[in-house]
A and B are shown apart, each in its own frame.
Chain A
Amino acid sequence: MIVLLIDDEPTMPRLFDQRYRKDIRDGLLQFVYSASAEEALKKLEGEAGEAALILSDINMPGMSGLDLLDVLKARGISKPVYMISAYDGSEYEAQALAKGARGFLAKPVRFDQLNRLIEEHRPPTPVTRPR
């Protein structure tokens, strides 16, 4: 299962790699990281094309996570998107949901929540990769 994570915090990939180390090693999960929405859109045409889940920050350099939702909709990409943001507030959440996001996770990220989310969206036949 491929998960696309979009966040401009440079430490995010290390955190996710560590937390999902075993799943990654066992080929149950694969993360594709982007530091911007623009980069993510490119990756969706390549290595993240098979992503089953998109996790995106809101406040990022250039295009914001909310703008990304619009672009995805315009391009007809209907992958489930969840926002992960340090911004408090129902305002962002409501905006994101209105633009088609499936949900909103607040930072600090709760990995038990995230685990459940990943399991929910795990496709029936997991994408296995050589170690």
Chain B
Amino acid sequence: MAKGPVLSPEEFTIRKPVFQTGVLVFVLGTLGGLYSDWSQGNAVATLLDLATLAVVLLITLAVWRGALDRGRAVAGLLYAGAFNFLFSIGHHLINRSATLDTAIYNNLFILALFLAVSALLVGRTAILALGGTILVVLLTASVFWNNALTAGNLWFEIPAVTGATYLLFHYRGSLDRLLADLKRVIGENTSLRQRERLASLGEISAGIAHEIKNPLNFVVNFAESSRELLTELETHLDTSSPSEQQREERDYLLRELHQNLEDIRTQGLRGVSTVQGMLHHARTGNGEFQAIDLNEVAGECLFLAGLGSKRGRTVQKFQAWPEPVMVRGSRSDLSRAFLNLCNNAFWSVVEKARREDALYTPQVTVTVEMAKSEALVLVRDNGVGFSAQTKAQLFVPFFTTKPAGEGTGLGLALTREVVVDQHGGRLEASGDLETGALFSVFLPLLGDT
């Protein structure tokens, strides 16, 4: 499968089982409180527990319907819990002429914890609002219930709340920045791959323009020439009793016109097939995995690479497997991998042709085979090959033997990434300086994992 980035924003969201367990614990806890409050005959607390339960159910429903993300839902649950505790504290304070006992301190502590975590989950604004509210409440409480919060407590709690608010605010900010950075990096990564794909298309685009203009040359010129031949033919049609020579001339013109139209058609189709091949490669796709016939993809890549290469008199051979060789993979990525291998092969034979005399016959052969559990694509050339020393570095990114400006040194590294990391296959290189190079791509067959 496709390798994801090391970190993604998704990893910061609360997982489904964790959320469900949390809701379960919350509901059980509230039910326990409900039973205890009810058995003690505490009507207000019982109603409060019922209200909390209702809020929990509403939130769970909202998540289930997809109206709320799990992070915010947890914040909601904590707020509901916080409300419950706050209400008990208030109720406690009003009913008993306000002495701060252990129960209230416990409640206050849990309340602060719940509020802090929920504010962290929602965002920085919530943290500031929470910190501010608590400070206001503390100050108000110090005025109205002077005996409830003693001066000593107040002096301790105001800096504590301020500090905690600052810390939470700071960490939430860091978290937001981290997430934003991560999103940007992932975005850049995607556009980098996109650019690489376009670059490999750019490499062959000069060849494609060439391959389109050549047929266009014939289309345009045979059409123009046909017009002149027709004008000429018209003058012969005027003659009622043509001489032998005129008849010969007329037959010649008709033959040529026929042939011209035939050539225009053939050359037009040649252009169409070039454009189709190009579009197939350019169609970016999203790396989505699908069933692919390697016969088709490998053949297409050899054809495209052949267009792009100043191929000289290269003998280009494609040996397809007699039946479809199906693998599961990303069509665009695999074709980029094969295109890289074929481009290299053509480059290598052209380079050798440049160095050698006329006796050398450049050859690039792509073979598709099917073994027991593996599909196999072989890209073989009789070009310049590589030394044992070079072989060790073939797949190292930015390593290239091509002259400056001709190779990025990324082709084979990316090919290996696609074949091995992305598709769980193998990529092997063999060859030497005499015989040329052979790259073997092994891929698991479809339905054979």
Contacts and interface: CB of A to CB of B under 8 A. Distances in A.
Interface of A: 9, 11, 14-15, 18-19, 36, 38, 59-62, 64, 85-89, 106-109, 111
B313 A62 contact: yes
A109 B212 CA distance: 14
A11 B225 contact: no
B209 A64 contact: no
B220 A108 contact: yes
Contacts of A85: 210
A15 B267 contact: no
A61 B229 CA distance: 33
Interface string B189-215: 000000000000000001001111110
Given A38-B358, A61-B312, A108-B216, A15 B225 contact: yes
B217 interface: yes
Contact of A88 (B209, B218, B224, B313): B209
Given A108-B217, A108-B220, A62 B206 contact: no
Contacts of B353: 62
Interface of B is mostly: helix
B221 interface: yes
A18 B225 contact: yes
Interface of B: 206, 209-214, 216-222, 224-225, 229, 256, 259-260, 263, 267, 310-314, 353, 358
Contacts of B209: 86-88
A85 B209 CA distance: 11
A22 B218 CA distance: 20
Given A11-B263, A19-B221, A108 B310 contact: no
Contacts of A106: 213
A107 B216 contact: yes
Contacts of A62: 312-313, 353, 358
A11 B218 CA distance: 8
A111 B73 CA distance: 76
- Tell me which of B229, B259, B260, B313 has the highest count of chain A C-beta atoms within 10 A of its own C-beta: B313
Given A38-B358, A59-B310, A108 B225 contact: no
Given A11-B263, A36-B313, A88-B209, 9 more contacts: A9-B217, A18-B260, A60-B312, A61-B311, A64-B310, A89-B206, A107-B216, A108-B220, A109-B217
